[in-house]
Structure 1
Amino acid sequence: MNKENFRYYIKVRTALNIPASVIYDELYSVHGDQAPSYRTVRRWAQWFREGREEIEDEARPGSPITETTSGNIEQVRLLIDDDPHITIEEVQEQAGLSHGTLQRIITDHLNLKKATARYIPKDLTDSQRAERVRICKPNLAKFQEGT
């Protein structure tokens, strides 16, 4: 059951003068953890008693997270591939995206992190791990000989 269905049920039961606690108990007994919280049921019941008619959410201020598009992700990927030492401020300037959106794109979508002033993959591939082990073994042997 989606939010609008729950709200419609709350609206109808409130119109019949049924208390919010009873409405919540009914919803919880049928839907369990999927039911809205008691506080939510109480709040919507109050709004409906005060004359609210619509069951949809009201528009909220602020911009929605629509800047994380495949085009923007690709644009950021190209900027970082072109210059791995680029700063987030420079990417922000060139891409025209907010700092938070860039952070989300870089960490969540491109799976990169900043290390020694350049972006690198968070996870190494198996061949990269093997190469690091190959390089580190002689150094470790030198260290163990010296002790």
Structure 2
Amino acid sequence: MAPPTAVWSKLEIRAVVRFLFAKGIKCSAIYREIVENYGEHVYQWCSWFKDGRTSLQDEPRSGCPNTANYDWNTARVDELIKVDRRVKLEEISLKLDIPKTNFYEIVHDKLG
């Protein structure tokens, strides 16, 4: 039996799509078979493979990368909270110059 799809990476899913496409299975059949487990991007990847794409990696995107969630920022936030458990989270956000949305993501998702 296959492992739960929740633990499969994007690259593994794309590799399955590419494999089925290379076997000559139509995009619509691949889509029907896989979309219920892997999401809506299956058909898009079939189209890209049909157009000659071979890479499974995402293409580079323009814009600023999300730098606030780097591990060193998480460590800095964790350290400041441990030094003073009563410190306001907004104060740390301002002190470290991390946008509030990214800061709250660090506190709630990474530090829990």
Shorter-normalised TM-score: what interval?
Answer: 0.5 to 0.7
Structure 2 portions without partners, runs of 5+ = none
Residue 20 of structure 1 is matched in structure 2 by 27
- Computing the radius of gyration from Cα coordinates, the structure with the larger value is 1
Distance 1:87 1:41, change over 3 A: closer
**How many Å apart are 1:80 and its aligned residue?**
5.9
Please list every run of at least 4 consecutive aligned residues from structure 1 whose deviation after the TM superposition is greater than 6 angstroms: none
Query: Post-superposition shift, 1:79?
Result: 5.6
- Spell out, residue by residue over 1:104-127, the C-alpha distance to the aligned partner (whole angstroms, 9 max, x if none): 3555647xxxxxxxxxxxxxxxxx
Counterpart residue type for residue 70 of structure 2: T
- Length, aligned pairs only: 100
Could you say which structure has the greater relative contact order, defined with CA pairs below 8 angstroms and 6 or more residues apart? 2
Structure 1: 5+ residue stretches without partners: 111-147
SS at match of 2:53: coil
Alignment of 1:71-90 (within 5 A): 71-78=76-83, 81=86, 84=87, 88=90, 90=91
Cα distance in structure 2, aligned partners of 1:96 and 1:76: 15
2:18 corresponds to which residue? Answer: 11
Asked if 2 retains the 8 angstrom alpha-carbon contact of 1:76 and 1:95, the reply is: no
Q: Which residue of 2 aligns with 1:143?
A: none
The verdict on how the C-alpha distance between 1:10 and 1:107 changes in structure 2, with shifts beyond 3 A counting, is closer
Q: Secondary structure in 2 aligned to 1:69?
A: helix
Residue by residue over 1:93-141, the C-alpha shift from the partner in whole angstroms, topping out at 9 and shown as x without a partner, is 322222123333555647xxxxxxxxxxxxxxxxxxxxxxxxxxxxxxx
Over the aligned positions, Cα root-mean-square deviation in angstroms equals 3.2
Q: TM-score, normalised by structure 2?
A: 0.61
Q: TM-score if structure 1 supplies the norm length? A: 0.50
Amino acid across the alignment from 1:47: W
Aligned partner of 1:93: which letter?
L
**Which residue is 1:44 aligned to?**
45
